[in-house]
Amino acid sequence: MKKVAILTCSNAGLDYLDYPKDIRILRSMIHFGADESYNDFVDMDAKTFYTRILEKPNDIPKTSYVSIGTMIENFEALEKEGYEEALVIVISSELSGLYDAVVRTASEVKIKVTAFDSKTLAYSEAYMVLEAHRLAEEGKNVKEILPYLEKIRDHDEVFFAVDTLLYLVKNGRLSKLSGTLGTMLQLKPLLVLGDNGKVETLEKIRTTKKAHVRVLEKYIEATKDKNVITYISHAHADEYVDWFLDELKKVFPNREVVVAYLTPVVGAHAGPKALGLGYIEID
């Protein structure tokens, strides 16, 4: 039986969940201007990050994925620990260059490295990581684990709303939204991260409340006849979370909902008070 290591990027937000600590997290960096850089979660956690960008909304953060050198160090350390394979589950390749970087790095180390494009982020990505770890603990190798991850990837979706489009626009992560910048920033649209791994606009909406109502309606429509894992990923938006939990309980009184923060490197693009309501369809 091969010893398989499971790795992911910090975009999955595992730090805000209970997770096995032998899962390695490749941490992205958050940058403010030219002089301030922080390791995601280690140097700056979600609450600190969102407080800062609310206080200084014009200080738009940038992000970068883990360096090639750090990845090589991780893979070499795993080899020394006796691992023969490494499975790296990463944020959607439509949102980051990390997937391609892992693929390139794989050729520079002895351990066999497989990159898996989750085509998502936040809890959906985290769920894939936790399932991959469970399967590896059961003795499955990477080739045997991949079909499980592909099934999850093909059966997940998240609808979300942001309080401001400023961060998505400035960081170039939003597609299919036309209009001048001034007009765009006044919108509170219904967004989706679907099967293609891109952030796209489903509807243009003028108020946060209406956007939240439509997020809820789209979720109910998509899941009413399905067995699903439900999750809320949010950017320090506790008051919004409470509303969603109350409304979900009215429609699906027996559904459990996983609630977790969007980690700073995701929040750098979504902005403060962003919230996503998602699901993973299960058998």
Helices 208-223, 238-251: axis angle to 10 degrees equals: 40
Mean pLDDT computed over every residue of the chain: 93
205 and 131 together in one domain: no
Asked, for residue 52, whether it belongs to a domain, the answer is no
Q: Average pLDDT for residues 136-150, to the nearest whole number?
A: 98
| 234 has a pLDDT exceeding 90 | yes
For 277, the domain range is 156-281
70 in Cβ contact with 88 (< 8 Å): no
Give yes or no for a contact between 187 and 205, defined as CB atoms under 8 angstroms apart.
yes
Range 235-261 average pLDDT: 97
Query: In terms of domains, do 70 and 96 share one?
Result: yes
Q: Tally Cβ neighbours within 10 Å of residue 139.
A: 11
Q: Are residues 182 and 124 in the same domain?
A: no
With beta carbons less than 8 A apart as the criterion, state whether 231 and 279 touch.
yes
Of 153, 183, 213, which one is at a domain's C-terminal end? 153
Q: Which domain CATH number covers 193?
A: 3.30.1180.10
The DSSP bridge partners found for residue 63 are 30
Closest CA to 126 of 25, 46, 253: 25
CATH number, domain containing residue 106: 3.40.50.10440
- Domain assignment present for 197: yes
What would the pLDDT profile of 91-101 be if each residue is shown by its tens digit?
A: 999 999 999 99
List, for residues 10-23, the tens digit of each pLDDT value: 999 999 999 999 99
Same domain, residue pair 22 and 110: yes
Let me know whether 149 and 169 are in one domain.
no
Q: What is the DSSP letter of 67?
A: P
